[in-house]
Amino acid sequence: MKNYSLPGFTINLTTLFEFSKTLQNFNRLPLFESAHNALNAKFENQTLGFFDWPERIPAEEIATLQQISKELRARYEGLLVCGIGGSHLGAACVLEALRSEKEENEFPIFWLNNVDRWAIERAKSFVSRRKVATLIISKSGNTTETLSGFFHLSRFLDPKGTVLITDPNSGELRRWVNTHSYLNLPVPPNIGGRFSVLTSVGLLPMALGGIDILALLDGAKQLRRHLATLNLLDNPAYQYALASFWWDKKENRSIHYLMPYLSQLKLLTDWFVQLWAESLGKKNTEGMSVGPTFVGSLGTRDQHSLLQLFKEGPQNKLIGFIDLKENSESLKVGTSPVPSPQFEYLCHHSFEEINSKALQATAKSLNSAGTPTYQIVFEELTCRTLGAFLLFQELACAISGEFYQVNAFNQPGVEEAKRLLRESL
């Protein structure tokens, strides 16, 4: 059995290993040792900072962040966030998962992450109807889409309520900080955008949205400390990364779906897709193009639109499911408005139970067709469990980069498109 218990969630990889005899018999220790040593060297020399950051984030930075959040919440009626990709998805997915409708109404947040005219007009309507604080998030300080949206909306915005989150040393936004005294927070130079959810990039918008950022960081710390107690062969992040790598390279399952059965986790799959796709879709050290295609979907909605493809379409997919453990406050279906003995069985179940059984039915159906699946189950959805999950995915993605022999921390294809856009303008 490959069913691992981690701080706040479990991950069951049993089917991934049972369905591949070659993976079962593979001596993974040499690969783990080589990849671990290469990645660990980057952590130790601080070339990479994401894995240690929850432990190393300066106390004064947290204090500054909390003070800014407190003041902005007191002075403003909402928040505009100008950021894209890694400057948006991490914080947005946590807020979507954890904020109640009441919290969303009390302090609404508008994410300007696209600059088509429709989005700009909606943003203009948002900022013209209330007094809002503004976050400009760009590590490079020159993200075209982010800056153009901010420029257009700036006449509606209060400079005293504008915070810049950018590189601590370089870039045009850092020059603004130095010459115009904007409120600001740094992006650690050794943490890339898609790995930055647990830095000020994610922490400030989450704090402004009412998230307990100390609990989020504590969940990440607990995950990190737990993994440190395990030997390499018992490390579930390494096993998870290996299974994904193996099914792609050896079994031709090059499309990897992640499918939560909770509506509030849909944006989490967008974060997952960016993290893995931008990290692994590269040319490796031998010049070969590698990396599976990552896709986010939502159960049970997409179960009814994609299951036929998954089961009887091209056998090139690996499917991951996310579920939530049922709790004592589960919501029951209740009685039918019309007497209907045929459906009496349905009325006594909770929605959580129906949802979970739908997941299990989908997994069973796929497994019967030989489709490999895995399952992640949260004990509960809290800041701590999400903090642990986010760091787990980041570590698994980073070690996958070593398996694929790519630099998981650059994005030359993205940078080229940015350069071509600037040149065309």
Instruction: Give me the phi and psi of 181, to 5 degrees please.
Output: 60, 40
The answer to whether residue 278 is catalytic is yes
Amino acid identity of residue 180, one-letter, is H
For the record, the structure tokens of 152 come out as 């257009």
Q: Where are the alpha helices (DSSP H) in 250-382?
A: 266-280, 303-312, 351-368
Contact 333, 351 (CB under 8 A): yes
Phi, psi of 158 (to 5 degrees): -90, 115
User: From CA 53, how far away is CA 90, in angstroms rounded?
Assistant: 15
Cα 13 to Cα 93, 185, 205, 376, distances in angstroms:
24, 39, 34, 9
146, HSE (Cβ side, Cα atoms, 13 Å) = 25
Contact indicator for 98, 381 with CB cutoff of 8 Å: yes
* Candidates 131, 180, 250, 304; catalytic one: 304
Catalytic residue among 124, 249, 349, 418: 418
Of 139, 256, 278, 282, catalytic: 278
> Rounded to an integer, what distance in angstroms lies between the CA atom of residue 35 and that of residue 31?
6
Preceding peptide of 300 cis, ω within 30°: yes
Short-list 349, 352, 195, 175, CA closest to 272: 195
Listing DSSP states for 180-201 in one string gives H--EEEEPPTTS-GGG-TTSHH
Judging by DSSP bridges, how do beta strands 79-82 and 109-112 pair with one another? parallel
CA 269, 270, 271 angle in degrees (round to 5)? 90
Q: Which amino acid is it at 92?
A: A
- Give the containing element (helix H, strand E) for 71: helix 59-75
H or E element at residue 420:
helix 412-424
Residues marked active site are found at 278, 304, 418
